[in-house]
Amino acid sequence: MKAVILAAGKGKRMGELTDNLPKPMVSVHGKPVLEHIVERIRDHSSIRDFFIITGHCAETIENHFGDGATWGIHCSYGRQEIPDGTGKAPEIAKAWVGDSPFLLSYGDILVDGPEYAGMEKAFAEDALLTVKGVGSHEIAQGGAVVVDANRFVVDLIEKATPGSVDTPWYNAGVYIFNPDVFLYTARLEKSPRGEYELTDAIKAMAKDGKKIRAHEFRGSWVDVRDQQVLSQLNQKA
């Protein structure tokens, strides 16, 4: 298995912190968020091959990790020259992925290392989507995941109105895909906000009957989305 990490964003909610820095390179306890992610995947899975998709201040990430040898991994890169969303970004790694299943993570999602081992062990169908069990308020902030009785994904609903969706599951933003996912990203059309959305590709997969396992993260999970969250993380021991 390989890993693709989406790290092209500037992170407008980080304010001046990311004027000259990619959002995934903001520091948590003296180390970039992206470095925490890479090390945890390395230490808790079989993955040693990484492809990092860069964009804003791309050289900062590329120069930091280099070929990956310092971390005992192999690291490759591709640049998302046009910031047109998460749906098309993974296609930059399509040739590199080849026939391999791959873990896909956003570059600002921090989870406990053992969660990656759990994902790898649970992956057995067409795709795996991680979820957190939260309340209706939290679901309204992101993606609600609707599942069937066997916990396969039926639908994804972005920023659902509280009470409008009967599900406790929130999209945790880390996935495992087979390369078939590229058949669906290739068909994407821009969303109302003018971007290609990865979640639209996943919805299309579910509609076609692809088996997308909803896998619960039970440990720590943090979306390092803004300065407040970053400050809270750095205040913890």
pLDDT in tens, 146-182: 999 999 999 998 876 766 677 889 999 999 999 999 9
What's the pLDDT at 145?
Answer: 94
pTM, two decimals, is 0.94
Average pLDDT for runs of 10 along the chain of length 237: 95 87 94 98 98 97 98 98 93 97 97 97 97 68 87 88 78 96 97 93 97 95 91 86
> Which residues neighbour 109 within 8 Å (Cβ) at sequence distance 6 or greater?
37, 172, 173, 174, 221, 222, 223, 224
Strand duo 143-147 + 153-158: pairing: antiparallel
Cα 75 to Cα 141: distance, rounded to the nearest angstrom: 33
Cα 6 to Cα 59: distance, rounded to the nearest angstrom: 15
Strand, coil or helix: 80:
coil
What's the pLDDT at 138?
Answer: 62
What's the pLDDT at 37?
Answer: 98
Domains of the chain: 2-235 (3.90.550.10)
Q: Quick count: other Cβ atoms within 10 Å of Cβ 169? A: 23
What's the pLDDT at 140?
Answer: 56
